[in-house]
Amino acid sequence: MKQRQRGILTGMPFMAHVSSRAFVDDAGRRLYLAKPPARVVSLAPSITEMLFALGLDEQIVGVTEFCDYPAVARSRAKVGYANPNVETIIALRSDMVLAPKDFLRPDLQAKLEQLKIPVFVLDAQTVEDI
């Protein structure tokens, strides 16, 4: 897993003591987080699996309709897939969306950021990237 991805994913539960922390996503954008994300939406099955593998079960509130592994992912709210439902993401009170680089529509990203929901973009093309 890339160092910056590991930082955002594994650092989530431990950032409470930090007033503001900067991360650079795989789109090269710098995100500033004042507090650790507590309510995360994943927009890809691979991202969902990584989050659960890292033990972040409690932070995952929304996933795509294709997220079915591990089995507990099926119990999370579904936000769609190719056309994620922004209203559902808002209703889940998500404070971060994790999205794959090549699949994230610019209009969706802009809308979420306009609503002050940070979008962290991941680009995992190879096993080494994950």
Q: Would 64 be classed as within a structural domain?
A: yes
Q: Would 130 be classed as within a structural domain?
A: no
Q: Would 128 be classed as within a structural domain?
A: no
Q: Would 127 be classed as within a structural domain?
A: no
Write out the E strands in 6-107.
21-24, 30-33, 40-42, 60-63, 77-78, 96-100
Does position 125 have pLDDT exceeding 90, yes or no? Answer: no
pLDDT in tens, 14-61: 444 445 789 999 999 999 988 889 999 999 999 999 999 989 999 999
Please count the structural domains in the chain. 1
Q: What is the mean pLDDT of the chain?
A: 86
User: CA torsion angle for 123, 126, 127, 130 (degrees, to 10)?
Assistant: -10
In angstroms, the CA 78 to CA 64 distance is: 5
Domain hosting 49: range is 3-122
Higher pLDDT, 48 or 126: 48
Buried b (16+ CB within 10 A) or exposed e, 47-76: bbbbbbeeebeebbbbbbeebeeeeebeeb
Confidence class for position 97, pLDDT limits 50, 70, 90: very high
In angstroms, the CA 7 to CA 127 distance is: 18
Q: Would 40 be classed as within a structural domain?
A: yes
Q: CATH number of the domain that 53 lies in?
A: 3.40.50.1980
What average pLDDT does range 60-82 have in this prediction? 97
Q: Residues for the chain: how many in total? A: 130
Q: Which of 76, 33, 40 is nearest to 56 (CA)?
A: 40
Half-sphere exposure of 115 (CA within 13 A, CB side): 19
